[in-house]
Amino acid sequence: MTRLAFLTLLLASPAFAQDNAILVHMTRDLGKPEKALRAAYAACIAGNGQVEATAQPFTENGWTRSDDTEMGLITLTPAEGDLYVTLAADGTFCDVASESQGTDAALSSIQILSGAAGLPVEMLETGSECLAASIGMGMVEITSSGNDPVCLSESTSAARFFFTPS
């Protein structure tokens, strides 16, 4: 297990355009509560830091969008379920939080969708127990959800995808 002390971003994979079509297809499950977590991860990765491209599949699947221009954040919430997504208005991150699936489930879902899309995932060694990985186009850090996240949780998770500002 690893901790992300300093975030460095990787350049986009040359094959990202091909991989992106698979990820976009996966976002169709955003309206299905039992599949929404993995679909939300797919939307974040497919959006690649482009805020409107990331938000669109959520709103098309009935999620509510709330823009807080003062804070520079966009929140997306489903009609039902225990997920919420926070986007940085500048496109630097997309955070998917679950109040019912732990950090191991988050990592597993990210590995499955990355494998399906052909994106490489490499766990990063950073010196602590928090999970961090490079993933095709950038980086993801996995912790518990909430204001005081911990590295490992059986009951909650937050996967924060980081992107290079455009």
Q: What is the pLDDT of residues 19-75, one digit of tens each?
A: 688 899 999 999 999 999 999 999 999 999 999 999 999 999 999 999 999 999 999
Q: How far apart are CA 139 and CA 45, in angstroms?
A: 10
pTM of the model: 0.86
Quickly list H helices, 61-124.
103-117
Q: Which amino acid is at 133?
A: A
Q: Which amino acid is at 38?
A: R
User: Whose CA is closest to 135, among 166, 155, 106, 156?
Assistant: 106
